[in-house]
Amino acid sequence: MTSRPLAITGAHEFTPTVFPDERGLFLAPFQEPAFTQALGHPLFPVAQSNHSRSKRGVVRGIHYTRTPPGTAKYVYCPIGRAIDIAVDIRVGSPTFGQWDSVLLDQEHYRAVYLPVGVGHAFIALEEDTVMSYLLSDSYIAHNELSLSPLDPELGLPLPQNGEAILSARDQAAPTLAQAHEQGLLPSYTECLRAQETTHH
């Protein structure tokens, strides 16, 4: 498995070695030694795993968890194709307001690690795109927040011609600047503190 840091501080992409044969193929989308070597710590204890299936053109996010407690994620796409997007919404972070993306597909079988406090979104590029992810904390509705993926200041690579399919919640979500003004964004310092707690 190889790894690559993303443009967002603390976020990483992982690409496993694929072993094809006459039966099909085999790969390991998460490997602890490679993760620890890349990040300097092991993966968080997994509190929950999520599974979603999306139509082509569906945009989910930008979602994040109030910090504390904060949630780290390890995201993988076992079926279909998606653009997975990490958005740095941590106030005080050296990469605040920036985003980076990774193509998750059935050719390279990449996975993405998102540290505590980083916003997450993805765009389904095919029908029945399945996303599977590991979470460091359980779902608590009160702690789950959303930012607008349509925020022109961010300029995410969304489907054009009105093809993006969003939930009512994501359509009504504030922009990054609005959330900042309202004090809804996590602080980088708090996220780092929660991150340390998460991994121990």
Q: Which of 12, 63, 74, 120 is catalytic?
A: 63
Is 64 a catalytic site residue?
Answer: no
Q: What is the pTM of this model?
A: 0.96
Domain residue spans in the chain?
2-198
Q: Which of 74, 76, 113, 133 is catalytic?
A: 133
The Cα 87–Cα 157 span in angstroms is 12
Residues written for the chain: 200
pLDDT in tens, 87-113: 999 999 999 999 999 999 999 999 999
141-154 burial, b if ≥16 CB within 10 A, otherwise e?
Answer: eebebbbbbbbeeb
2-198, CATH topology level = Jelly Rolls (2.60.120)
pLDDT in tens, 144-198: 999 999 999 999 999 877 789 999 999 999 999 999 999 999 999 999 999 888 7
Is 109 a catalytic site residue?
Answer: no
